[in-house]
């Protein structure tokens, strides 16, 4: 794999932003594992970080580069700080940057990446799982599949829990008044309700540790997705809200993507 550490200017945000990208590379090694790689139409996964993370955290806490090499998959790691992949009330439009500007920038800088929906994926953990679910549901024509790990997808009635994590000023800077969060554009229930009749429908891989406090919410939400007609692979296993769980389940999720390497005739 080749690792690109990008610093680019976002016109949407009006500031410099960091993005890491890993792309398959054909290698011949005397030490280590040689690899082959597609040179065009490369499948791509946008992989989002959780609270406290940034564009480096997946690379530092897991072996995602090694896993993506086996899958012959490019992975894009954007950073959106603590903004919950939203256009915040304090005038930083992270959602617009993520969902509109970033894909255009990545295609501009890395034109060998696929533009096909069936080979374009999104995933994330915790806050990033929230963002991945949102992006897949709101832009179903962009993504064929979505990976949602340990995500907080039930926000209605959770004001006390939110305030245990950060103070009210933070949350209302992101979402606006907490009293208005239910049924708003930030509410995962709203996404399912408003986009359940969308076509085509992305498929979902939803997983959570059985010792994770978010497990009941994850189990409930994946049920909502299934009732709304989405194909969902729900998985659970030992683990809490921790990197050991995410390192294990991102491997399972990449296997679920079942990325097919480009055939020689496709490269012509």
H or E element, residue 234: strand 232-237
Question: Mean pLDDT, to the nearest integer, of 112-126?
Answer: 97
Residue ranges making up the domain that contains 148:
12-18+39-263
We report the CATH number of the domain holding residue 86 as 3.40.50.1820
Which residues fall within 8 angstroms of residue 169, CB to CB, at 6 or more apart? none
Once rounded to an integer, what is the mean pLDDT over residues 80-98?
97
Output the pLDDT for position 259: 52
Mean pLDDT, range 124-138, rounded to an integer: 98
Of 3-12, 42-51, 152-161, the range with the lowest mean pLDDT is 152-161
The model's pTM is 0.93
What tens digit of pLDDT does each residue of 160-203 get? 989 999 999 999 999 999 999 999 999 999 999 998 888 899 99
pLDDT at 143 over 50: yes
pLDDT band for position 107 (50/70/90)? very high
Q: What is the pLDDT of residue 165?
A: 92
Residue 25 lies in a domain: no
User: What's the pLDDT at 36?
Assistant: 77
45 lies in some domain: yes
The count of domains in the chain is 1
Determine the Cα–Cα distance for residues 208 and 219; give it in Å rounded to an integer: 8
Q: According to the model, what pLDDT value does residue 38 have?
A: 78
Task: Assess if residue 1 is contained within a domain.
Answer: no
Q: What is the mean pLDDT of the chain?
A: 93
> CA 226, CA 236: separation in Å to the nearest integer?
16
Kindly report, residue by residue over 31-55, the tens digit of the pLDDT: 777 777 777 999 999 999 999 999 9
Residue 265 pLDDT greater than 60, yes or no: no
pLDDT, greater one: 268 or 246: 246
Say which residues have a Cβ less than 8 Å from residue 186's Cβ, sequence separation at least 6.
84, 86, 155, 174, 175, 176
Residue 97 belongs to a domain: yes
23 in any annotated domain: no
Task: Report the percent of the chain where pLDDT is more than 70.
Answer: 96
pLDDT at 266 over 60: no
Residue 94 lies in a domain: yes
Instruction: Determine, yes or no, domain membership for 34.
Output: no
* Domain annotation covers residue 268: no
């Amino acid at each position: 794999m080749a690792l690109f550490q990008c610093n680019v200017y976002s016109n949407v945000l009006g500031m410099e932003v960091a993005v890491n990208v890993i792309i398959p590379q054909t290698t011949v090694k005397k030490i280590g594992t040689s690899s082959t790689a597609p040179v065009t139409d490369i499948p791509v996964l946008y992989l989002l970080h959780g609270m406290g993370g940034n564009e480096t955290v997946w690379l530092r806490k897991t072996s995602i580069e090694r896993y993506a090499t086996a899958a012959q998959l490019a992975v894009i790691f954007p950073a959106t700080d603590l903004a919950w992949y939203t256009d915040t009330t304090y005038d930083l439009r992270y959602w617009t940057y993520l969902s509109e500007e970033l894909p255009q920038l990545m295609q501009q800088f890395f034109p060998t990446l696929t533009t096909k929906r069936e080979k374009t994926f999104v995933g994330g953990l915790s806050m990033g799982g929230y963002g991945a679910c949102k992006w897949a549901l709101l832009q179903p024509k962009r993504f064929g599949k979505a990976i949602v790990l340990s995500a907080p997808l039930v926000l209605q009635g959770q004001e006390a829990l939110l305030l245990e994590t950060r103070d009210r000023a933070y949350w209302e800077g992101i979402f606006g008044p907490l009293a208005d969060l239910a049924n708003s554009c930030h509410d995962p229930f709203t996404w399912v309700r408003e986009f359940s009749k969308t076509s085509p429908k992305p498929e979902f891989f939803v997983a959570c540790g059985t010792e994770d406090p978010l497990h009941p919410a994850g189990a409930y939400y994946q049920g909502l997705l299934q009732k709304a007609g989405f194909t969902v692979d729900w998985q659970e296993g030992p683990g809490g809200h921790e990197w050991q769980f995410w390192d294990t389940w991102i491997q399972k999720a990449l296997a679920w993507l079942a990325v097919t390497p480009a055939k020689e005739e496709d490269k012509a």
